[in-house]
Amino acid sequence: MRKLGRREWLLLLFFVGTLAVTGLFAARAFRRAAYWREHRDERIRPWMSVGYVAHSYHVPPPVLHQAIGIDPTLPDRRPLKEIAAQQHRSVDILISELQQAIIEFRRSHPPPGGPPPLNGGKSP
C-alpha cells in the first residue's frame, strides 16, 4: 500500500471540505423548503412583515404593499403592528385589507390546480 504524498492529502482535504460545504447548503435549502411547506397560508398576525405574508400566501409583495398604502418600490421589513401604528389605524383593519387583497389576487390569478383555500383550510 502506497503512502499519500502532500499533494494527495491536500487534494483529499479539499474534496472533503467541498463535500462538507455542499452538505451544509443542501441541509439549509431542505430546512427552508420544509419550513415554508408548513407555513403556507398561515394566519396573518401582527408580528409578520408584508414580505412574510406575501411569501406565505404566494402573492407578489407589491400587491400587498399597494393594498395597505405603502410604496411598493421601497423595501420594508416592519411588522404589521408597526405599520398600523404609523398609519394611525388598527392592526386588525390592516390585516383585513391584506386578506382582501390576497382574495382578489387569487381570483384574478388562479393557480393551475385551482385556487387554494385561504388560511390553508385552517380556521382563524
Alpha-helix residue ranges (DSSP H) falling in 4-88:
6-38, 50-57, 61-67, 80-86
Q: What is the pLDDT of residue 116?
A: 58
Residues 72, 65 contacting (CB under 8 angstroms): yes
Query: What is the grid cell recorded at 25?
Result: 447548503
Query: What is the grid cell recorded at 94?
Result: 390592516
Q: What is the pLDDT of residue 97?
A: 96
∠ Cα 54 58 31 (to 5°):
90
Q: How far apart are the first and last CA of the chain?
A: 68
Q: What is the pLDDT of residue 27?
A: 86
Residue ranges of domains in the chain:
1-38, 43-119
Calpha distance 59→78 (Å, rounded): 18
- CA-based radius of gyration for the chain: 22
Q: What is the pLDDT of residue 120?
A: 54
pTM above 0.85, yes or no: no
Q: What is the pLDDT of residue 124?
A: 46
Q: What is the pLDDT of residue 123?
A: 47
Q: Mean pLDDT, consecutive 10-residue segments, the chain of 124 residues?
A: 84 92 89 71 92 92 94 88 95 96 91 62 50
Q: What is the pLDDT of residue 63?
A: 94
SS3 49: strand
